[in-house]
Chain A
Amino acid sequence: AQKVTQAQTEISVVEKEDVTLDCVYETRDTTYYLFWYKQPPSGELVFLIRRNSFDEQNEISGRYSWNFQKSTSSFNFTITASQVVDSAVYFCALSEPSWGAGSYQLTFGKGTKLSVIP
């Protein structure tokens, strides 16, 4: 079973539409961290947000917002009023204790390719 599932492989929206990218994770740990990264066509991953397992507050940053729900093991990402520059592949990732004392492993979902059409 995948630890991080991004069920939407590709999404296309028209500019100014809102879009939500889904992320479902699986872990047995009580302490873990969730991340979203953006990968534009240039290839470099850009960090967007981090959330720890004890903080279920939703977060808004400009046109971006994140909804973390432990009850459904989901960490969804919404872009409001999408723009062409939002076109990219978005990855959700889970960091959980793995390799030994103080060590964590970061597991990525397969990504969602978002295309914003002008």
Chain B
Amino acid sequence: DGGITQSPKYLFRKEGQNVTLSCEQNLNHDAMYWYRQDPGQGLRLIYYSQIVNDFQKGDIAEGYSVSREKKESFPLTVTSAQKNPTAFYLCASSPLGGSYEQYFGPGTRLTVT
């Protein structure tokens, strides 16, 4: 079945460690996105990519990094510079253009202590 996979579902890390969240899609979508969701908040865009080897910062990119070496993969690294990394992270993909809905993965809940 086509879709987006994120792994792991739950992730625990110690403060000061970098951690990488996986996102893979087999929908053949050009665009991929990372969002962060905090309790009672909407989704905020961290990074997006419209093509392989290219990506742009979203509204809250500080403390995060991404890569897009393959069309189907868009991993997100939460670095130690991110002051409040504990959150729910959602990956999405879509065809290019604003009229298309984004398809979301199941999310990764990151807890940093």
- A residues with a Cβ closer than 8 A to B are 4, 9, 32-33, 35, 37, 42-47, 50, 52, 91, 95-97, 99, 102-106, 108-111
Chain A minimum-CB-distance residue to B101: A47
- Kindly list chain B residues whose C-beta atoms are within 8 Å of the C-beta of A102: 96-97
Residue of A44, A91, A99, A103 near B106 (CB, 8 A) is: A44
Query: Which of the candidate stretches B17-25, B36-44, B63-71, B76-84 sits at the interface with the other chain?
Result: B36-44
Other than A44-B106, A47-B101, A106-B102, give 7 A-B pairs with Cβ distance below 8 A: A9-B40, A33-B98, A47-B103, A99-B56, A108-B42, A108-B43, A110-B42
Total contacts A-B at CB 8 Å: 57
Whether B99 lies near A95 (C-beta < 8 A) is: yes
Cα-based distance from A97 to B98 in the complex (angstroms)? 7
Interface size, chain B (Cβ < 8 Å): 24
11 A-B interface contacts by CB (under 8 A): A9-B40, A43-B109, A44-B90, A44-B105, A99-B56, A102-B96, A102-B97, A104-B97, A104-B98, A106-B33, A108-B44
Whether A91 lies near B97 (C-beta < 8 A) is: no
Q: Given the known inter-chain contacts A43-B106, A43-B107, A45-B104, please indicate yes or no for A91 contacting B99, CB distance below 8 A.
A: no
Cα-based distance from A78 to B83 in the complex (angstroms)? 39
Whether A110 lies near B41 (C-beta < 8 A) is: yes
- Kindly list chain B residues whose C-beta atoms are within 8 Å of the C-beta of A4: 42
Chain A minimum-CB-distance residue to B100: A50
Cα-based distance from A42 to B50 in the complex (angstroms)? 28
Cα-based distance from A44 to B45 in the complex (angstroms)? 16
Q: Chain A's nearest CB lies how many Å from the CB of B45?
A: 7
- Kindly list chain A residues whose C-beta atoms are within 8 Å of the C-beta of B43: 45, 91, 108
Residue of B33, B45, B50, B109 near A103 (CB, 8 A) is: B50
Cα-based distance from A52 to B97 in the complex (angstroms)? 13
Whether B104 lies near A95 (C-beta < 8 A) is: no
Closest 4 CB pairs of A and B: A104-B98, A108-B42, A45-B104, A95-B98
